[in-house]
Structure 1
Amino acid sequence: MTTADGPHRADGWAAAVRERLGLGRLLPLGGPEDGSWITERAAAGVLREAASGSGASVEKLRIDSADASRAPEPVVPGPPGALPPGRLRIEADFSATVRRPLPATADALRAALLSAAAQRLGLLVEEVDLRVTDLLEEEPPPEAGAEAKVRTAEPEDLAGTAAAGVPGVVSLTRALGGPVQAGVGHLQVELATSGDHRALDVARAVRAAVAGAVEDRPTVAVLVTAVTERN
């Protein structure tokens, strides 16, 4: 039987699927003891911004487990479908100017990606695979990191209030559901961080703040769904 609101429900379901797919992989921040993840879309925006000035223009960027079979188990449950907290591999296709030796451009791009992954995000990257897809006559213009649009949310409980008050938290978000999702003895907090703060450091502080604010001190996982531009 088809109800009157059937098409609307189908449209809503399709939009939710598109939004989830747009987030990309859920990447581990830090190690197995950190209980924190970041969406591939959010991480890629930071990495693309960092690549600006290397002489390369990043066309495609992919982040995945370097070897999922070697990844340890996280100390807390992660978001559904999240990658385990092992080392990561970055793959990037890029174009570069012919006015500079390609090996030098590739080295600069690799260094920029590794530095941003570690210092701005907290990703443990084991390798960076690069592929040249085009040669340019002129130096590519600087790229601004594209901020992903996310649905923000106001704190609705003690956990959300504690998370929102941590320095470096821009807002709570609801890309995968509510900003705070509760299970048995466990909470998952979803948020956006400021580009002026290392994402992993913010996530660690949020986990401690939420665990201390909620009765019975539940385990806490954090998912970063966006990183805003730095001031």
Structure 2
Amino acid sequence: MTTARGPQRADGWTAAVRQRLGLGRLLPLGEAADGAWIAETAAASVLRGAVTGPGTVLGRLRIGPVEAAAPGFPVVAPGTAAPPAPPSALPRGPLRIEAEFAAAPDRPLPAAAAALRTALVTAASARLGMEVAEVDLRVTALLDGGAPDQVREAVARFPAAPPEGPEEAAAAGVPGVVSLTEVLGGAVLTAEDHVRVEVATAGDHRALDVARSVRTAVSAAVAGRLPVSVLVTEVVERDSGGGAGLSR
């Protein structure tokens, strides 16, 4: 039976699905004991920002699992509870970056590809804390004359969630946290066996370091010492005036 609230519920469900799809894949950060994850769209925006040199224009970029993960990837130490992964998150293991790019004809393509590969791997480690084992690059065009702007894929923007309890306040107070978000549920979602926190982090802080600090702060505020996992839904770059571009 159709009710007056039916369309509103449908619209809410549709918006929720769009928000979830806006995250892309959920990628592991750090080691299993860190309990940290990041949205693919957030990671990709950081990687794109690292490609600033002339003569290379980055196109399509995806981040996914290595086909056959190397054995011996770090696991949780015996006796330590591993926080459960967010819904539909990729299995923990090394990752693979696939990207297309256009290059200037006055530079050898192997050199251009090597420089791009170095920039992506360095940014993944230094700015995100992401384990990248492979980078697969494909040249799609040679730049002729004036170089076009870098391809800018749409970056999901999620409304900030105000802190409403001690756990939310603890997470929001961590340096490098721009705001809490609630794409997969509440900003702090407490289940029987774990707690999951969603945050947007500042671009001038390493995402993994912020996630670790959030875990520590929330763990101290949670009753029962449940394992805490952290999902970074967005990395927010500061504008020239010192502000952050997160929608509220």
TM-score (norm 2): 0.86
Match of 1:206 in 2: 214
Asked if the contact 1:54–1:108 (Cα under 8 Å) also holds between the matched residues in 2, the reply is: no
Secondary structure of the residue aligned to 2:184 is coil
Helix, strand or coil: the match of 1:171? strand
Give, in angstroms, the shift of residue 58 of structure 1. 1.5
2:46 is the counterpart of 1:38: no
Say which of 94, 106, 116 aligns to 2:123. Answer: 116
Q: Which residue among 212, 223, 235 is the counterpart of 1:227?
A: 235
User: Shift of the alpha carbon at 1:140?
Assistant: 4.4
Question: For this pair of structures, how many residues does the alignment match?
Answer: 231
Offset at 1:54?
5.7
Q: Structure 1 residue 99 and structure 2 residue 110: aligned?
A: no
1:77 aligns with 2:64: no
Larger mean CA deviation between 143-152 and 41-50 belongs to: 143-152
Q: Which runs of 5+ in 2 are unaligned?
A: 77-81, 243-248
Please, what TM-score do these two structures have when normalized by structure 1?
A: 0.92
CA distance in 2, matches of 1:146, 1:201: 26
CA distance in 1, matches of 2:164, 2:48: 34
Amino acid at match of 1:19: Q
1:145 and 1:133, CA in 2 relative to 1: closer, same or farther beyond 3 A?
Answer: closer
| 8 Å CA contact retained: 1:147, 1:228 | no
| Among 155, 159, 165, the residue aligned to 2:173 | 165
Q: Matched residues, percent identical?
A: 59
Distance 1:6 1:81 in 2: 28
- Which letter maps to 1:77? P
Shift in Å at residue 151 of structure 1?
A: 1.5
1:89 aligned partner: 96
* Equivalent position to 2:186, from 158, 164, 178: 178
Q: Which amino acid aligns with 1:215?
A: A
2:27 is matched with which residue? 27
Aligned AA (2:62): R
Q: In structure 1, how many angstroms separate the alpha carbons of the residues matched to 2:181 and 2:232?
A: 9
Q: Is the Cα contact below 8 Å between 2:95 and 2:131 reproduced in 1?
A: yes
Q: Partner amino acid for 1:82?
A: A
Q: Is the CA contact 2:58–2:102 (under 8 Å) kept in the aligned structure 1?
A: yes
Q: Could you report, residue by residue, the CA deviation over 1:154-190 in whole angstroms, capped at 9, with x for unpaired residues?
A: 1111111111111111110111121000101411000
Deviation at 1:10, TM superposition (A): 2.1
Deviations 1:96-123 (A, max 9, x none): 2222221111111111100000000000
Q: Distance in 2 between the 1:189 and 1:51 partners?
A: 30
**C-alpha distance after superposition, 1:191-228 (max 9, x if no partner):** 01111110000100110111112222221000000111
1:155 has 2:136 as partner: no
Residues 188 and 68 of structure 1: is their aligned pair in 2 closer, same or farther, counting only changes over 3 Å?
A: farther
Distance 2:156 2:236 in 1: 9
CA distance in 2, matches of 1:157, 1:5: 30
Q: Which runs of 5+ in 1 are unaligned?
A: none
Distance 2:196 2:202 in 1: 19
Query: How far did 1:11 drift?
Result: 2.5
TM-aligned CA deviation for residue 18 of structure 1: 1.8
**Does 1:8 pair with 2:16?**
no
Tell me the equivalent position of 1:48: 48
Q: How big is the alpha-carbon RMSD for the aligned residues of Structure 1 and Structure 2?
A: 2.1
